[in-house]
A and B are shown apart, each in its own frame.
Chain A
């Protein structure tokens, strides 16, 4: 069974704080790494899809980095806002592009207090 670990499991920060989470995954047969944001009562929304070692992607105040050799990815949120409150899921795609499947971590739940 392939294991994807996300830490911390939950996080409470004040508005304006910057924060980061970790996603650890098996580095063998790696194909891509997805990050999703899941707000309460809504559907998960794709944030980033990353494939190359050293990749860094950014969307507004949110950015992510990828290390495929050691099997981890960081998600950073700069100056957290209450609307950033959500569960953040990472999901590596292990295997080839045709047969590889996403394996989801259990998520990091972020609560931003105004």
Chain B
């Protein structure tokens, strides 16, 4: 079955360390997105990519970085510059065509210890 795989499901990081969250899709979707969820808030967009080798900042990009070297993969690095990284992170993709719903992964919960 086609879908989006996020790994790991749970991640613990020491303060001051960078950590990379994986997102892989086999749906042949052009566009991929990273969202962050905090308690009581809606999903907030971190970064998105509409095509390989191109990506744009979302609303809360500070302290994060991404790459899109392959169509299937859109890893997110949470750097030590991110002041409050503990959160639930969701990856999503769409075909890039109009009026298609997003397909989401199952998420990674990052905790800074």
- A interface, CB within 8 angstroms of B: 4, 32, 34, 36, 41-49, 51, 89, 91, 97-98, 101-107
User: Would you list the 9 A-B pairs with minimal beta carbon distance, nearest first?
Assistant: A46-B101, A104-B42, A104-B43, A43-B104, A106-B42, A44-B104, A43-B106, A97-B98, A49-B99
Pull 6 A–B residue pairs with CB atoms less than 8 Å apart, ordered by A.
A4-B42, A36-B101, A36-B104, A89-B42, A91-B43, A102-B45
CA distance A104 to B4 in the complex (A): 20
The answer to the question of B75 belonging to the interface, with a C-beta cut-off of 8 Å to chain A, is no
In the complex the two chains form, is B101's CB within 8 Å of A34's CB? Answer: yes
Closest chain A CB from B49 CB (angstroms):
12
Residue B90 is within 8 A (CB to CB) of chain A in the complex: yes
Residues from chain A with Cβ under 8 Å of B50 in the complex: 98
Is B2 an interface position by the 8 A CB rule?
A: no
Interface residues of B (CB under 8 A from A): 4, 35, 40-45, 48, 50, 58, 90, 98-107
Query: Taking each of B42, B48, B98, B106, which has the highest tally of chain A beta carbons within 10 Å of its own beta carbon?
Result: B42
When distances are taken between beta carbons in the complex, the residues of chain A under 8 Å from B107 are: 43
A101 x B101 contact (CB < 8 A): no
Nearest-CB distance from A1 to chain B (Å)? 8
B105: chain A residues at CB < 8 Å are 43
B55 to chain A, nearest CB (A): 13
Tell me the complex Cα distance, A42–B4, Å.
Answer: 12
Query: A46 contacts B42, CB within 8 Å?
Result: no
Q: B35: which A residues are within 8 A, CB to CB?
A: 104
Using Cβ atoms and an 8 Å threshold, which residues of chain A touch B40?
106
Q: How far is the CA of A42 from the CA of B107 in the complex (A)?
A: 9
With contacts A43-B105, A44-B90 known, is A101 near B48, CB below 8 A?
yes
